[in-house]
Amino acid sequence: MFDFFFQLHPVIQGTAKGLAVILVIFPFAGACSLAERKVSAWMQGRPGPNRAIVPWIAWVPFLGKFLQRLGVFHLMADGAKFLFKEEPLPGHVNKLYFVLAPVVAMMPAFTTVAVVPFGAYFDPAGRLIPLALANVDVGLLAVFAVSSLGVYSLILAGWASNSKYPFLGGVRASAQLISYELSMTLSVLPVFLWINAPGQPGTMSLVKAVEFQSGAGLHWSGVWFGFLMPLSALIFLVSLYAETNRHPFDMAESESDLVGGFHTEYGAFKWSLFFVAEYSHMIIGSGVFTLLFLGGWNPLPGLPLATVAGWLGLAGTPLLVALLSLAVFLGKIVFLLFLFMWVRWTVPRFRYDQVMKLGWQKLLPLSIANLVFYALGIAFLERG
Amino acid sequence: MTLPSAHPYAFLALFALVAIAFPLLLLAVAQLWFRFFQPPKPSATKNDVYECGVAPTGDSWIQFKAHYYLYAILFLIFDVEVLFLLPFAVTFTTLPAGALVAMLVFILLLAEGLVWAWHRGHLEWK
């Protein structure tokens, strides 16, 4: 059915795949913003966005009312509003960098999608084929390397705005991001100590990490790394919240003291690009967390994809297996995104000194100790 | 699906280009819309630096804490050290015991740097 696609030139294929993924992530991020508003409303006991509706859908008796209550049309209304709002360039900004900053924010947010495997299927020979756009062997390293470029967009936006609040927001955000990057990198190292078994080429592949959590039955090979290395998972999750500038770490845009932080001077479409970039980072971060610590596309610990596909009789149809793995993976991502929002309304915002203290004096020593503990433990197991 | 697929890294580069082109395209569309369908209504207040609605005071090039800079330098040192830990993690299980001890000494240096910065009070936000 799709044969004609594979006849195309690889560059055209790649561009088409890239555009397709962006066109999926873009509305997904938009849906996140709507979900954020709905979840916030739900936690605060109010209805939330429930007005917007397209007239001819309002005529549908039951469904129209339901979709209106759900607020799905606010998504389209928001998008249209961003595109059609006046797009002025404030006179005091550095024009080139001011326009460049949102683009720089989007680039890492979208590029990291390429190396994250969103699912997998089995080819007739029974081998696992990941659904990744670029299945590179340095997987996680590529994610870290590219996503850390996001710092530049914050500092660029803050500096180019030529205004006090954005500048302070940009400086704060960049110091915070680099502080938590250390603990984040150190916290995932035990996973790679574990999966780089002797006699195999070393790898930082995310697919490999999932394969090591895919054992069947009551055996330790099926245990997710989140249970095997709970401290790593915790440090990674906290750092992830800090890296995506989410509550309780939203120093970059703490509206009570910095108005909007680094994007105070932005409006209309350029602002919405920052917004989408932030949500894309959350989606990718949740995806990486799922792959490393929550078993990726395996439905339950000790109950891998292959077993469930076998029960459902899907073994002969790779497409259905791929869809099943995609559903499991996206389900976990959606839960983690909900967790982001849950934490937002549960934990109050930290002060800046508390953020720095947590990053440098708590998480960093803890992650070093964690690494040493697992290095010694695994070395002992290997040689013991 | 036996196709001569591109190298994954080439794909990554291509993807980065698409990821840059896409927001630029959107910005261009928004700009065109602004150019042709929205009459520009510039005003002094609209062009002003935003400071909570009051008239902005002083220059926007403010002094800020040098402590941010200190964190950046500390980050640079630790990040390079963490970078050396990545190949260690990948080849970990094939290393001889001596290399393991050497690596523990390396991590000790990392921890020592942290203790030193802590002791000097560089990690305290003042």
pTM for the whole thing?
0.90
The confidence score (pLDDT) of residue B3 equals 41
The confidence score (pLDDT) of residue A291 equals 92
The confidence score (pLDDT) of residue A80 equals 82
- Residues belonging to chain B: 126
pLDDT range class, residue A198, cuts 50, 70, 90: low
Q: What is the mean pLDDT of residues A5-17?
A: 73
Contact B33 A168 (CB under 8 A): no
Interface of B with A in 10-49 (CB under 8 A): 10-12, 14-16, 18-20, 22-24, 26-27, 29-31, 33-34, 38, 40-42, 46-49
In degrees and rounded to multiples of 5, residue A3 shows phi and psi of -60, -40
| In contact, A193 and A292? CB cutoff 8 Å | no
Of B62 and B72, which is predicted with more confidence? B72
Of B45 and A95, which is predicted with more confidence? A95
A2, pLDDT greater than 70: no
Helix H, strand E, coil C: the string for A321-354 is: HHHHHHHHHHHHHHHHHHHHHHHHCCCCCCCHHH
A131, pLDDT greater than 60: yes
Of A90 and B4, which is predicted with more confidence? A90
B98, pLDDT greater than 90: no
pLDDT range class, residue A288, cuts 50, 70, 90: very high
In degrees and rounded to multiples of 5, residue A303 shows phi and psi of -130, 75
CA A373 to chain CA centroid, nearest Å: 28
Contact A368 B110 (CB under 8 A): yes
Q: What is the mean pLDDT of chain A?
A: 84
Domains and CATH numbers, chain B: 8-57+65-119 (1.20.58.1610)
Distances (CA, A) of A159 to A32, A153, A172, B51, B67: 28, 10, 12, 16, 18
Q: How far apart are the first and last CA of chain A?
A: 54
Of A347 and A85, which is predicted with more confidence? A347
- How many CB atoms within 10 Å of residue B5? 13
How many CB pairs (< 8 A) connect A and B? 216
A367, pLDDT greater than 50: yes
Q: What is the mean pLDDT of residues A369-383?
A: 86
Q: Which residues of A touch B47 (CB under 8 A)?
A: 88, 90-92
Query: Highest-confidence range of A7-16, A145-154, A230-239, by mean pLDDT?
Result: A230-239
| Angstrom distance (rounded) from CA A105 to CA A149 | 8
Shortest distance, CA A384 to any CA of chain B (angstroms): 12
pLDDT range class, residue A197, cuts 50, 70, 90: low
Closest CA to A186 of A358, A359, A364, A356: A364
The string over A338-370, giving b where at least 16 C-beta atoms fall within 10 Å of a residue's C-beta and e elsewhere, is eebbebbeeeebbebeebbbbbbeebbebbbeb
A255, pLDDT greater than 70: no
Residue type for position A220: W
Of A16-20, A54-58, A292-296, which range is least confident? A16-20
DSSP state of A361: I
| In contact, A84 and A267? CB cutoff 8 Å | no
The confidence score (pLDDT) of residue B2 equals 37
Residue type for position B72: A
